[in-house]
Amino acid sequence: MAPAPTSTFTPEAPPAIIPNASSRSDGFSPGAIIGIVIAIICLLLAVPLIAICLRRYEKTRLRETPKSPESSNISLRSVQEHHSLSSILVTKELSRSSIRMERVDSGIKRPDEIYENGRERERGWSCTEVRVPRKYSFHVLFKMFNMQIALPTLLLAPAVLAATKGAGDVWTHSPRYDYIIVGGGTSGLVVANRLSEDYNVSVAVIEAGGVELYNPNITDTSKYGNAFSTSVDWQYESVPQTFAGNASQVLRAGKALGGTSNINGMTYLRAEAAQIDAWQQIGNAGWDWESLMPYYKKSEYIQQPRESQLLRGASMDLKTHGTTGPLAVGWTNNMMGEEVMSSINQTFDTLGVPFNEEPNAGAMRGLTVFPKTIERADNVREDAGRAYYWPVSKRPNLDIYLESFVEKMIWHPESENRDAKRTASGVVFSGLNGTSTTILANREVILSAGSLRSPLLLEQSGVGNPSILQEHNIDVVVDLPFVGENLQDQTTTDMFYTNNNSTNFTGLAGYAAYFNVDDVFESDLAAFNASIASALKQYAGRTANASGIIDSSVTEKLFRIQYDLIFKNKIPISEIIVSPAATGPITIEYWGLLPFSRGSIHINSTNASAPANINPNYFMLDYDIRQQIATAKMARKFANTAPFSNALSSETTPGLDVVPTNASDAVWEKWLKSTYRSNFHYISTAAMMPRELGGVVDSNLTVYGTSNVRVVDASVIPFQVCGHLTSTLYAVAEKAADMIKARYE
């Protein structure tokens, strides 16, 4: 029997759910048929009585129920005794008590210490008043209503239970929710929070990882990278990269409540206005910079910089930021000193790159001391769990299944007509012991598992390219060949320098510089522009050939939009992050922001947990390596320009013995392809585009060919953004939540 979470609500009008072929009974016995007939008669007699009860109950509730109902206290032991859970269910006080038991004396406040002392009010949390309670029990009826009404209803119950027992037990007893969200990460927790603001709906989140609220490798803002290759990192692996040294790449993504927001660099930098406008340009109505900006602000709680932080480079325009959102954004308390900022700023200014006081307003070119997703008071990482889940963890209509791996969606059989859109009935997932569990959705299934997981769930559920599905004997539910295609990622390289100890580099750094094509190619710009313009058709053809399903004319249209953003709108194409350190090397990290190469991700097996076929096709198109070479030269030029160069002794990576001062592009290319890594900014594997352009979801984020399946994560973003993904993902998820709510108003 499937576990029945204590806060699961009985739906007012659940759809008729039929088990899939593997679970469906061959038929009903004569006794079961008679029982069902009796049950129907009993229900017809009981409905008027129940209706009277509920009307009277609501009147009583409206007089007595507070606006923010408190959840019941549940112990870990009681849940284990009463439910054979194949997963860990975080619900109400269970989540808090279990974490409290695991807590070490880390100096970090507990969730109840943080959120019950005014912060929740400060950030403007609210919920809709309960209008109709969704969970009733007979003891409540006895207590609140006349026995003459409650007793007949009680007497009818055995007949109803007898009639339904044995007729599809898994489905009868499976928990039901209005919304099921697959993935409790950066996007999923935003949607869960906003949907559960309405206490009349129930929300379930299924997360493959656990709770890492007190893991210092995550919470400590100085320990970026320490969580890599641990249990909180999926550690996906690409296939050998044909165009990039033939080596595989480790592709990191967060596996914990909060997702990749637990292990990323915490950078809060948005995007260029023109590139968000391009989303609407390709047919996504309502998706432009002006429309998305309110959602950037809605998600954000900016912690304005103190005077000492302003002196060290922190800057902002308050009207660009949100002040009441859930996500804490700000600058660390231990920023590097003024002399470091002055040195870096003067050096970039010498190279013609200005200081940008507000890179989050839609124009990013220039140097900035960027804000981060941190809680300044405690100086800890602000991941999606800390921002969006823990403040509302007492909501009785929000359940979190932890350490639970979703295998597939299941479909409503009445939507099997190929001319009709298919309706998802729920999902099947497994816990640590491998036992499969089914939960059902009254309204929608929302995939927020990330760019390297959501498309695989679609394919495992029969949505995708028929040739791939049939290869694995998966029935085609929706013919949608672009699922898993259009994968885009950036490539990163590091240069290292020794510190001559002439400058005090104590503290944390946050210096990022953005360069447009003029800055990067300088006198070579005209020739580079002409060569790329003439190569677009060839790029489209190579991409189409590599994919096997994408039409080259469609790809060329999309490439021309990206070309215009680079060469006409002059949005940034490169980023350099300067990371000095008091001990150890000084790091200069750089990458291209807008690669043209496109890859794919597809299932390798019907086993949902089996490794996927991930092929980003790094450097398949020569724009990408030419741009990376030019950016590498610029990074070295910065390191050799005063005053910052005065703090450096020598270059250790790559070193002049490997890449000499006047090295050819071929030498640079060889070194770059042997040392690059993924930037972990994967997007577009379920792209929000018109279907004829290769889209998987429409502008409402609904999967084509379905009526109630949405994707809300980085896989819907059609083009790379210049900023780091996190801020844009929060905004997209906030907008998605409003769109979902609007459908049911």
For the beta carbon of residue 447, count every other beta carbon within 10 angstroms. Answer: 33
Cα–Cα dist 40/119, whole Å? 51
Determine contact, residues 188/446, Cβ cutoff 8 Å.
Answer: yes
Three-state DSSP string of 198-267: ECCCCEEEECCCECCCCCHHHHECCCCCCCCCCCCECCEECCCCCCCCCCCCEECCECECCHHHHCCCCE
Give the C-alpha distances (Å, rounded to integers) separating 611 from 238, 276, 297. Answer: 9, 33, 37
What residue type is assigned to position 56 of the chain?
Answer: R
- Residue in 321, 412, 602, 681 annotated catalytic: 681
Cα–Cα dist 594/721, whole Å? 7
DSSP result, 429-466 = EE-TT--EEEEEEEEEEEE-S-TTTHHHHHHHTTEE-H
Cα–Cα dist 591/494, whole Å? 9
- Residue in 321, 412, 602, 724 annotated catalytic: 724
Cα–Cα dist 452/208, whole Å? 14
Determine contact, residues 427/182, Cβ cutoff 8 Å.
Answer: yes
Cα–Cα dist 639/641, whole Å? 6
Cα–Cα dist 96/76, whole Å? 10
Cα–Cα dist 165/28, whole Å? 11
Specify whether 83 is catalytic: no
Specify whether 724 is catalytic: yes
Determine contact, residues 582/491, Cβ cutoff 8 Å.
Answer: no
For the beta carbon of residue 306, count every other beta carbon within 10 angstroms. Answer: 15
Determine contact, residues 729/267, Cβ cutoff 8 Å.
Answer: no
Active site residue ranges: 681, 724
